Amino acid sequence: MDKEVISTKQAIFTFILFNIGSFIIFGSGSDVKQDVWISILLGLIMSLPMLFIYSRILMLYPGKDLYDIILYVFGKILGRFICLVFLWYSFHLGTLVIRNFSGFVNVVSFPETPPFIFIILITLLAIWIVKAGIEVLGRWSAFIFPITISIITLTIMLSMSNAHFLNLKPLLYNGLKPVFKTAFSIYSFPFAESVILTMVFNTVKEHKKIFKVFLVGNSIGCLTMTVSALRNILVLGPELTTNFFFPSYIAVRTVNIGDFVQRFEIVVAIVFIFGGFIKISVCLLAATKGLAKLFSVSDYRQLTVPVGFLMVNFANIIYESDMEMFYWATKIYQFYAIPFQLVFPVIILIAAKIKQKAEEGKQGQEPQPAQ
């Protein structure tokens, strides 16, 4: 196998972009209104144990990705079956992000262009970068991350001229229940989606720091999301925010400073395209790697194009309408994702621990008869 290495920094950048990618444009919190920032913070706290589990799995076997570990721990037959589960998840998630992307672009800027065009263009780019390898992906993340963050900061600063801080009150008017409900939804999208990265991040140079990558990435991602969710509520008000599919886009649209600084909402789309592109590429990479492991293909790169085009087709037929897409993303996805984000990782970690213990025991026992 060829050795691909990315630095810790690049890994963190990739992680953050993966995290904020589609969330920053969607926003969330249909039920919680002005308390959505509490939900985001709660979602972060809920995702911390999961991050620990994901990084633990990777740290047990340095240099191996999730598929290798599954195949090693569960053997060839059962292992292949579990690999298939994760292969499906990364493939499906990539498809969903592609579909979100095409839905967004189609609604806000190109209503007459067939969505298929956007789907195929972004996937072609993703195929290209995956073929170039994770190193290129890491460098690309490091390159666009500062741009993305400065755009987000700029839009937030400019929006502050229309901010009304009364919109945040009263706190927890509808009680804690909806806040927790939304927190769960935010936990599964986007925080716990980082399970995909366990299939890719075996390439991080300093292996011990993998938990740090997950933690720092998630925290910065969370901060960005909280601030932009707050911005939406301060500018649009708690009720109106929930009316829109893309509240961030609308919030930036209302900025008008002296009739001169105005109509720059498209920069929000740039953030989404950058983040979404990273997310699509990482999912494509994970799915391709999975397929390669499943059929024992030595070089996953050969499979990038077919997997990518399968994604194109799937994204094209997956939803009938945008309403269906949003219903799925906000109401169903969180439950659908439980096995991939929670059940299987926990099983894998326990099994891997047992296996390692057993091996240590064997190694301990073996020298004894020699004595």
Which distant-in-sequence residues (6+ apart) come within 8 Å of 95 by Cβ? 311, 314, 315, 318
Task: Please identify which residue in 151, 223, 240, 297 interacts with other proteins, judged by CB under 8 A.
Answer: 240
- CA separation, residue 290 to residues 66, 296, 304 (Å): 9, 10, 11
- CA separation, residue 327 to residues 28, 109, 319, 358 (Å): 12, 22, 10, 46
The stretch near other proteins (CB under 8 A) out of 43-51, 74-82, 167-175, 216-224 is: 167-175
Task: Please identify which residue in 45, 117, 160, 176 interacts with other proteins, judged by CB under 8 A.
Answer: 117
The stretch near other proteins (CB under 8 A) out of 162-170, 314-322, 324-332, 351-359 is: 162-170
Reported as half-sphere exposure (CB side, CA atoms, 13 A), residue 295 has a value of: 10
Query: Total binding residues for other proteins by CB under 8 A?
Result: 25
Closest CB 167 distance from other proteins, rounded Å: 8
Structure tokens at 59: 């740290």
The answer to the question of residue 236 lying near other proteins (CB under 8 A) is yes
The stretch near other proteins (CB under 8 A) out of 92-100, 139-147, 236-244, 281-289 is: 236-244
The answer to the question of residue 108 lying near other proteins (CB under 8 A) is yes
The answer to the question of residue 279 lying near other proteins (CB under 8 A) is no
Task: Please identify which residue in 45, 59, 63, 109 interacts with other proteins, judged by CB under 8 A.
Answer: 109
Closest CB 325 distance from other proteins, rounded Å: 17
Give yes or no for a cis peptide into 146 (omega within 30° of 0).
no
The answer to the question of residue 239 lying near other proteins (CB under 8 A) is yes
Residue 27 vs 43, nearer CB to other proteins: 27
Task: Please identify which residue in 133, 149, 237, 267 interacts with other proteins, judged by CB under 8 A.
Answer: 237
Check: CB of residue 227 under 8 Å from CB of residue 13: no
The stretch near other proteins (CB under 8 A) out of 42-50, 113-121, 282-290, 318-326 is: 113-121
Decide: residue 368, CB within 10 A, 0-12 exposed, 13-18 middle, 19+ buried.
exposed
Which distant-in-sequence residues (6+ apart) come within 8 Å of 230 by Cβ? 37, 168
Residues 82, 184: Cα–Cα separation, whole Å: 25
Contacts of the segment 102-108: beta carbons below 8 A, 24+ positions apart: 102/315, 103/322, 103/325, 104/25, 104/246, 104/269, 104/272, 105/269, 107/245, 107/246, 107/322, 108/246, 108/249, 108/269
Residue 33 vs 293, nearer CB to other proteins: 33
Reported as half-sphere exposure (CB side, CA atoms, 13 A), residue 137 has a value of: 35
Closest CB 169 distance from other proteins, rounded Å: 4
The answer to the question of residue 114 lying near other proteins (CB under 8 A) is yes
- Compose the 243-262 pattern: x for residues touching other proteins by CB under 8 A, - for all others: x------x--xx-x------
Closest of 55, 64, 42 to residue 15, by C-alpha: 55
The amino acid that residue 1 corresponds to is M
The answer to the question of residue 133 lying near other proteins (CB under 8 A) is no
The answer to the question of residue 121 lying near other proteins (CB under 8 A) is yes
The answer to the question of residue 358 lying near other proteins (CB under 8 A) is no
The β-bridge partners of 204 are 6
Closest CB 166 distance from other proteins, rounded Å: 6
Residues 178, 264: Cα–Cα separation, whole Å: 34
The stretch near other proteins (CB under 8 A) out of 61-69, 238-246, 277-285, 299-307 is: 238-246
Residues 21, 280: Cα–Cα separation, whole Å: 9
Residue 150 vs 243, nearer CB to other proteins: 243
Residue 154 vs 166, nearer CB to other proteins: 166
Q: Which residues bind other proteins (CB under 8 A)?
A: 107-114, 117, 121, 166, 169-170, 173, 236-240, 243, 250, 253-254, 256, 263
